[in-house]
Homo-oligomer: A and B are copies of this chain.
Amino acid sequence: MEKPEKPHPGEARHAAVPLAECTLARAVSVIGDAWVLLILREAVYGVGRFEEMRDDLGIPRAVLSDRLRRLVEAGLLARVAYREPGRRTHHAYELTARGRALLPALAALREWAEEHLPGGPSPLKLRHHCGAQIHARLVCDHGHVVGPEEIETVVERSDGATG
């Protein structure tokens, strides 16, 4: 393995991790759906009511119902009952800790779109409690922010070699 740097285009840099062992594939099985991501967007906004999500997204009722059920089953959303005085009991879908833990991924997607897709910036910002703006970044164990070009993927094989 003298020069693994520039393999032929199309030549894999290392053996593929089978889908069953791939964490990204597991994530995709939950969030690999356009509506799911948009529903999570609503939940991040604090929009938790069925009809309100429907109004915002224009999603068919049956699909929204199905996705909400899946997201509750997967533990990303919780269906909570509440009641405003003088109104009937309602249910709302709220992010659980597991769902909220997706914020870094959603933030990274937002930033990617803002920088790399046509269209203006979003009026929505993520803000820390201290007032500072938040960004999704890759950081190395030494605490440095690194760019996507400075990174390589390695498979840690059981025999200790690094592929």
A residues apposed to B, CB below 8 Å:
7-14, 16-19, 21-34, 37-38, 41-42, 44-49, 52, 56-58, 75, 80, 82, 84, 90-94, 97-98, 100-117, 119-130, 132-142, 144-146, 148-157
- The main secondary structure of chain A at its interface with chain B is mixed
27 contacts between A and B (CB under 8 A): A7-B46, A9-B94, A11-B84, A12-B45, A17-B124, A19-B38, A22-B124, A23-B113, A23-B117, A23-B124, A27-B110, A32-B33, A32-B37, A33-B33, A75-B116, A102-B112, A104-B108, A104-B138, A123-B155, A125-B155, A128-B141, A130-B142, A132-B140, A135-B139, A136-B137, A137-B139, A139-B139
Interface centre among A38, A116, A126, A149 (most CB of B within 10 A): A116
The copy count of this chain in the complex is: 2
Report chain B residues within 8 Å CB of A46: 7, 11-14, 153
Pair B146/A128 contact, Cβ less than 8 Å:
yes
Q: Which of A10, A42, A134, A141 has the most CB of B within 10 A?
A: A10
**A14 near B104: Cβ-Cβ < 8 Å:** no
* Cβ–Cβ < 8 Å partners of A19 in chain B: 38, 56-58
Residue of A34, A48, A138, A154 most packed against chain B (CB within 10 A): A138
- Report how far A149 CA is from B126 CA in the complex, Å: 12
